[in-house]
A and B are shown apart, each in its own frame.
Chain A
Amino acid sequence: MSAETESRHAVTRNDGILEVRDLDAGYGDLRILDDVDLDVSSGEYVTIVGPNGAGKSTLMKSVFGLTNYMGGTVRFDGEDIAGENPEDIIHKGIGYVPQNENIFGQLSVRENLEMGAYILDSVPEDRIEAVYGYFPILEERTGQLVGSMSGGQQQMVAMGRALMLDPDLLMLDEPSAGLAPDLVEEMFDRIDRINGSGTAVLMVEQNAKEALRRCDRGYVLVQGRNRYMDDGDALLDDEQVRQDFLGG
């Protein structure tokens, strides 16, 4: 379908932690992803952009074992995790923040973070400190019910929860969705900081221009297939990409 599919034969980097090859996945019998490839290196910041319904979120969910696996490989840290369930994948070092309903509204901030480390025997206080380091407001609101907080603060709680196990890869599904414009910038800054500390970030984002400007590499997904893959800036400069996906 697309001649520009570059990632198909992309050279696998030595320090790649996530390596998706020819992935087919969907819901029930409905196939959404069609031979999709995706790579994330250790500490890299990768963005997936594309039109609505392109399968961006589905790709992320598929990595986390939340869709119906139909074929291909998903390797994380050299281990094949395709078709495994989320409860096992969490142990491998992937943190995932869904787009919607990504907080426990009836629990306090601290309890949300504790849930993020449920698989550990005891609450890792150093991780709670680390999360409070990224999001100082959460330390002030530690006992507050998350359901009563603002959208931006809830998003911080959601990310904080996913960071509790100090994942090697943090997957964010539309972290800026529903945020007021002045908060979007701030949210991207915080993601930069998380990435700067060595955590690889894989992000799906509607706010494509800003996301591509900030990331190391971007993928453009169309109708469940890879369309383009390049450095973020290169995609931004690409005339075709600009016209088709970034509104000129």
Chain B
Amino acid sequence: MGVTDNTTGRIRGYAARPAVVLLAFALGYLLVDLAAKLAGISVDPLGVHVLGGYVRVSSVVKYLFNGLILGLIIGLAGVGLSMTYSILSFANFAHGDYLTVGAFSGWAASYVVALFTLGLAEPFGEIFLLNVPSVVSIATSPAAVVVGLIVAATASVALVLLLDRLVYKPMRGRGGIPLLIASIGVALALRYTIVFVWSTNTRGVTAVGVESLPAYTLYVVDGSYSINLHEFTMIVAAVALMIGVHVLLQFTKLGKAMRAMADNKALAQVTGIPTERVIRATWIIGGGLAGMAGFLIILKRGVLSYNFGWRLLLFIFSGVILGGIGSVYGAIGGGIIIGIASRMALIWIPSGFARVAAFSVMILVLLFRPAGLFGGVTTA
């Protein structure tokens, strides 16, 4: 009885918020529409297209996979953003550019390794500045990709520690807003330093030819979807890093201290947890993950531009907020949902509007769970 009362009460609560009903209706319509499209049914009373149409099952599978891959990267990058939020109490707008820094440093290193392993003829300078298009493939030069990933991590860690020392540490304890604004400045400085060295040109960095890159093809009802070795590498690396974060947080002394500090900074200090050291570890882990996420997403996309991290930041933020800002697992879960939503939206809308879909999903979820899916400020 109590359960029923509770449920009706809840339903009444939702009904009191028209936006919730409207969004639930929109979602319901989309689901019915998707089912109709998959079945190839089109409903056009009086010549007005209302519902359905046609979409290939294989396309849906492709969108789903692409969304999952994007979501893993958003989630991986979100872990660091969420940790710095809960432990340092500010939203770091430079986080997206940490991805860019990781990608540029990592790919420059990859190119340099490829220069030797592949015996390229171009001069070192051209190689380092990534002016030679589409050189690296994990099939032809796995060492270049591995070294690139490691350099992406170390370079972004070094940068993040330097920035903490120069900018964030002196401002610690002044509240979240000054730090947030400082981080926007840091973001701009990073982006245009990259432009200064590598220019604003968008360049292809991975060699993606059918012959050069093995792929696994998955046959579905009416077509196929193939996942190539770069995507596979990216997925394995992202999942492994996420498991690593989980193990760190749950089973190591440092990880427990990070969770304790996210939970209650004042008590952490009284307990004798060396708070500055934990903050440094937070930067190292968050920055390293961001750098690697930046490198890995370029491995999948194949093209690199100076502002991709900044453009991705809104997705990362919405994933983090969706999952419940401060929660590491929320950042991962929220990132995957945002990634999938933004790709699945392509069934209905042109790719230019994919962002709108991602944010709509975020708003929808927040209407039901204002604190996010995993709620509250916690690194757990």
Counting contact residues on chain B (CB < 8 A from A), the size range is 20 to 34
Say yes or no: A107 contacts B260, CB within 8 Å.
yes
Residues of chain A from 203 to 245 with CB closer than 8 A to chain B in the complex: none
Residues of B with C-beta under 8 A to A96: 270
Interface stretch (choices A71-79, A98-106, A175-183)? A98-106
**A90-B272 CB under 8 A given contacts A106-B380, A111-B256:** yes
Say yes or no: A104 contacts B259, CB within 8 Å.
yes
Q: Which residue of B lies closest to A96 (CB)?
A: B270
Residues of A with C-beta under 8 A to B262: 106
* CB 8 Å contact bits of A161-175 with B (1 = contact, 0 = none): 100010000000000
A114 within 8 A of B: yes
Say yes or no: A86 contacts B259, CB within 8 Å.
no
Say yes or no: A115 contacts B270, CB within 8 Å.
no
CB distance from A107 to the nearest CB of B (A): 6
Query: Total interface residues on A, using CB and 8 Å?
Result: 23
CB distance from A154 to the nearest CB of B (A): 12
Say yes or no: B270 contacts A106, CB within 8 Å.
no
Q: How far, in whole Å, are A119 and B253 apart by their CA atoms in the complex?
A: 11
A118 within 8 A of B: yes
* CB 8 Å contact bits of B257-276 with A (1 = contact, 0 = none): 10110111011111111100
CB distance from B158 to the nearest CB of A (A): 27
Q: Out of B257, B260, B270, B379, which one reaches A86, CB within 8 Å? A: B270
Q: How far, in whole Å, are A91 and B271 apart by their CA atoms in the complex?
A: 10
Say yes or no: A101 contacts B264, CB within 8 Å.
yes
Q: How far, in whole Å, are A106 and B268 apart by their CA atoms in the complex?
A: 13
B156 within 8 A of A: no
**A115-B380 CB under 8 A given contacts A101-B264, A104-B260, A106-B262:** no
CB distance from A170 to the nearest CB of B (A): 13
* CB 8 Å contact bits of B337-380 with A (1 = contact, 0 = none): 00000000000000000000000000000000000000000111
* CB 8 Å contact bits of A80-119 with B (1 = contact, 0 = none): 0000001100110000101001111111000100111011
**A115-B256 CB under 8 A given contacts A104-B263, A105-B263, A107-B263:** yes
Residues of A with C-beta under 8 A to B378: 106
Say yes or no: B271 contacts A90, CB within 8 Å.
yes
Residues of A with C-beta under 8 A to B266: 98, 101
Q: How far, in whole Å, are A107 and B380 apart by their CA atoms in the complex?
A: 8
Residues of B with C-beta under 8 A to A111: 256, 259-260
Q: How far, in whole Å, are A115 and B269 apart by their CA atoms in the complex?
A: 11
CB distance from B255 to the nearest CB of A (A): 10
A45 within 8 A of B: no
Q: How far, in whole Å, are A96 and B267 apart by their CA atoms in the complex?
A: 10
Say yes or no: B267 contacts A103, CB within 8 Å.
yes
Listed residue (B253, B256, B267, B273) with the most chain A CB atoms within 10 angstroms of its CB: B267
Q: How far, in whole Å, are A206 and B379 apart by their CA atoms in the complex?
A: 35
Q: Which residue of B lies closest to A85 (CB)?
A: B269
Say yes or no: B256 contacts A107, CB within 8 Å.
yes
Listed residue (B260, B264, B269, B270) with the most chain A CB atoms within 10 angstroms of its CB: B270
Q: Out of A66, A87, A106, which one reaches B274, CB within 8 Å? A: A87
**A66-B270 CB under 8 A given contacts A104-B264, A106-B380:** yes
Residues of A with C-beta under 8 A to B268: 104, 115
Q: How far, in whole Å, are A86 and B271 apart by their CA atoms in the complex?
A: 8
Residues of A with C-beta under 8 A to B267: 98, 101-104
Q: Out of A90, A115, A161, A165, which one reaches B257, CB within 8 Å? A: A115
Say yes or no: A87 contacts B263, CB within 8 Å.
no
Q: How far, in whole Å, are A236 and B267 apart by their CA atoms in the complex?
A: 34
Q: How far, in whole Å, are A108 and B269 apart by their CA atoms in the complex?
A: 18
CB distance from B35 to the nearest CB of A (A): 40
CB distance from B330 to the nearest CB of A (A): 12
Q: How far, in whole Å, are A165 and B273 apart by their CA atoms in the complex?
A: 13
Q: How far, in whole Å, are A96 and B268 apart by their CA atoms in the complex?
A: 12
Closest 8 CB pairs of A and B: A90-B272, A106-B378, A119-B272, A106-B263, A104-B263, A104-B260, A106-B380, A115-B260
Chain A to chain B contacts (Cβ below 8 Å), 11 pairs: A66-B270, A87-B269, A87-B272, A104-B263, A107-B256, A107-B260, A107-B380, A115-B268, A116-B271, A118-B272, A165-B272
Q: Which residues of A contact B (CB under 8 A)?
A: 64, 66, 86-87, 90-91, 96, 98, 101-107, 111, 114-116, 118-119, 161, 165
